[in-house]
Amino acid sequence: MSEPLSAFTAPGRFFRGNLHTHSDLSDGALPLDEVCRRYKAEGYDFLAVTEHFIGQYGYPIADTTPFRDNSFTTLLGAELHSGAMQNGELWHILAVGLPKEFKAPHAPGFWPVEAQESGPDIARRARDAGAFVAIAHPQWSGMTLDDARSIEAAHAVEIYNHGCHTGCDRADGFHTADLLLSEGRRLTMIATDDAHFTEPDHFGGWVMVKSEANTPELLLEALKRGDFYASQGPEIEGVSLTGSEVTVRSSSVVTVIVQGHGSAATATHGHSMTEASVPLARFINSPWIRITVIDAAGKRAWTNPIWLD
């Protein structure tokens, strides 16, 4: 993974994208072309349509290449399912940048079956095939920490899922991510829609990826490096770190919070802040920090973890 502030120092610009979406190729309500059209119309630069990769739907990896143009691109991917978590339910693992020829598991439907590839194994196989791998909606899934630990191939944790927010008020992945970070796992954090268009589950969470061009190859490389931040609306324009404080530049916000290991957190509040400095004294025993900004409407944006070593 690259230097921890490289999302704000690397060449290129930020491109807005959603990494978790469904069409009627699996359990979404809209055809594939209309899903892509809507994201483009809403100002997104890229989209990954990630169908449920199970036999019930014919193990689809949605071919979105016909919907790419000079201003909008797509990444191929899928939501992988195989094996049981500790609660007996099926794994959900997000894989973006998956090759079309990725071998299907024995996953006939939304339930675990005997002699099935495990969640950790299919995650490793996806990463080895070139995918950016994320632990999907841990709160929604009822995932234990031991479950999350087992996905050693993960690049990221899905820390905000807008569909899980809308449908069941279980959008959060921060508890899982923070515990893994404090165990030394150098993971990044993504916000997504998980849109099915069956309820208001779309255009609520995304990633802003720093890349020199809006191409699938460069976006995927940037995701793997961690050159992005996650947002519901606010823009993070820069983060700089000294020995005693972190300074954040952003669109207008009312709160900037720095979080770290355990209970470590420090907040700065104000009005229409576009730059704020937060002291780091509270984080002397924390190997990592992450930053949240909140605007006047309560919308948030989140940096990836910054490792203080």
- Residue 255, pLDDT above cutoff 80: yes
In the Cβ-directed half-sphere of 104, how many Cα atoms lie within 13 Å?
Answer: 15
Please give the average per-residue pLDDT across 89-95, as a whole number: 98
- Is residue 205 one of the residues assigned to a domain? yes
Let me know whether 114 and 185 are in one domain: yes
3-state SS record for the chain: CCCCCHHHCCCCEEEEEECCECCCCCCCCCCHHHHHHHHHHCCCCEEEEEEEECHHHCCCCCCCHHHCCCCCEEEEEEEECCCECCCCCECCEEEECCCCCCCCCCCCCCCCCCCCCCHHHHHHHHHHCCCEEEECCHHHHCCCHHHHHHCCCCCEEEEEEHHHHHHHCCCECHHHHHHHHHCCCCCEEEEECCECCCCCCCCCCEEEEEECCCCHHHHHHHHHHCCEEEECCCCEEEEEECCCEEEEEEEEEEEEEEEECCCCEEEEEEEEEEEEEEECHHHCCCCEEEEEEECCCCCEEECCCEECC
- Residue 1, pLDDT above cutoff 60: no
Q: In whole angstroms, give the CA distance from residue 213 to residue 216.
A: 9
Between 191 and 2, residue with greater pLDDT: 191
- Is residue 1 one of the residues assigned to a domain? no
pLDDT tens track for 151-171 = 999 999 999 999 999 999 999
Let me know whether 112 and 249 are in one domain: no
Q: In whole angstroms, give the CA distance from residue 298 to residue 155.
A: 28
Q: In whole angstroms, give the CA distance from residue 161 to residue 171.
A: 5
CATH number at residue 111: 3.20.20.140
How many CB atoms are located within 10 Å of the residue 34 CB?
Answer: 14
Q: In whole angstroms, give the CA distance from residue 52 to residue 61.
A: 9
CATH number at residue 273: 2.60.40.10
- Residue 183, pLDDT above cutoff 70: yes
Q: For the chain, what percent of residues have pLDDT higher than 90?
A: 97
- Is residue 272 one of the residues assigned to a domain? yes
Please say which residue of 204, 231, 258 terminates a domain: 231
- Residue 2, pLDDT above cutoff 60: no
Let me know whether 224 and 241 are in one domain: no
Kindly report the average pLDDT of the chain as a whole number.
97
- Is residue 182 one of the residues assigned to a domain? yes
| Model-wide pTM > 0.75 | yes
pLDDT tens track for 17-55 = 999 999 999 999 999 999 999 999 999 999 999 999 999
pLDDT score recorded for residue 211: 98
Residue in the structure block whose two tokens are 């120092």: 9
Structure confidence at residue 242 as a pLDDT band (50, 70, 90): confident
Residue range of the domain that includes 173: 6-231
Please say which residue of 200, 231, 262 terminates a domain: 231
Let me know whether 264 and 204 are in one domain: no
Residue in the structure block whose two tokens are 């009822």: 142
- Residue 179, pLDDT above cutoff 50: yes
Let me know whether 190 and 299 are in one domain: no
pLDDT score recorded for residue 3: 57
Structure confidence at residue 243 as a pLDDT band (50, 70, 90): confident
Let me know whether 266 and 223 are in one domain: no
Let me know whether 199 and 277 are in one domain: no
Joined together, the tokens standing for residue 248 give 């954040």
Let me know whether 287 and 148 are in one domain: no
pLDDT tens track for 287-296 = 999 999 999 9
How many CB atoms are located within 10 Å of the residue 146 CB?
Answer: 9
Let me know whether 124 and 211 are in one domain: yes
pLDDT score recorded for residue 4: 61
pLDDT score recorded for residue 5: 81
- Is residue 46 one of the residues assigned to a domain? yes
Count how many domains the chain has. Answer: 2
Please give the average per-residue pLDDT across 201-205, as a whole number: 98
Let me know whether 246 and 203 are in one domain: no
> At a CB cut-off of 8 Å and minimum separation 6, what does 201 contact?
162, 163, 166, 167, 193, 194, 195
Let me know whether 162 and 63 are in one domain: yes
- Is residue 187 one of the residues assigned to a domain? yes
Let me know whether 204 and 241 are in one domain: no
Please say which residue of 185, 201, 231 terminates a domain: 231
- Is residue 218 one of the residues assigned to a domain? yes
